[in-house]
Amino acid sequence: MMNEKLQAAFNDQINKELYSEYLYLAMKIYFLEQNLNGFANWFDVQVQEERAHAMGLFNYLNDREGTLKLEAIDKPVVEGNTPVTIFEQVLKHEKFVTERISALMDVADEAHDRAALSFLDWYIKEQVEEEATASTILGTLRLIGDDKKGLLMLDRELAARTFTAPTIG
């Protein structure tokens, strides 16, 4: 069984992933209101991915006979009010999640829990992708600037994103 500190850190990360799900759902509302349905679809897939991240940790903690504890999820705060500023927040948030996963790995390392460390490897690699995706879209949005046609082209591209349940661990 995992030690208490590591179990608490897993429970905390489950909460962070559920908050991510909630935050991206809140961002989806902004794009629905703007009639940018491709962006809204991108966030919808992101919501499903975050739920999968949370459930991966949830199932692992359960498999290790840990104690699952669900805490309150913070109210999501969307700081931006344009596509650019919202994606700035997405990138900032993903960097924060990367830091949290690193801290969780530090706790697993301190506990000499090789199994947990090996499991968490998937998450730290996933964060590289999460940050890169947000950064790419942000870069494109900055290039587009005030060009409405460019924005609609990107919207069409993001409409094609589909959710594939990840194989975690």
Total residues contacting ligand FEO (rule CB under 6 A)? 7
From the list 104, 130, 155, 158, which residue makes contact with ligand FEO (rule: CB under 6 A)?
130
In 3D, which of 5, 16, 1 has the Cα closest to residue 115? 1
For ligand FEO, give the closer residue by CB, 2 or 54.
54
For ligand FEO, give the closer residue by CB, 19 or 31.
19
In 3D, which of 104, 102, 122 has the Cα closest to residue 113? 104
Q: Does 44 bind ligand FEO (CB under 6 A)?
A: no
For ligand FEO, give the closer residue by CB, 94 or 155.
94
Q: Which residues, 6 or more positions from 13, have their beta carbon under 8 angstroms from its beta carbon?
A: 57, 100, 101, 104
- CB of 64 within 8 A of CB of 2? yes
Which residues in the 2-41 window bind ligand FEO by CB under 6 A? 17, 20
Spatial distance between the Cα atoms of 9 and 146, rounded to a whole number of angstroms: 43
Q: Residues 108, 22, 93, 151: what is their CA dihedral angle, to the nearest 10 degrees?
A: 140
Which residue type sits at 144? I
Look at the block and give the residue holding tokens 């992708």. 129
Q: How far is the CB of 10 from ligand FEO (least distance, A)?
A: 14
Site string for ligand FEO, 85-124 (x = CB under 6 A): ---------x--x---------------------------
Q: How far is the CB of 83 from ligand FEO (least distance, A)?
A: 18
Which residues contact ligand FEO by CB under 6 A?
A: 17, 20, 50, 53, 94, 97, 130
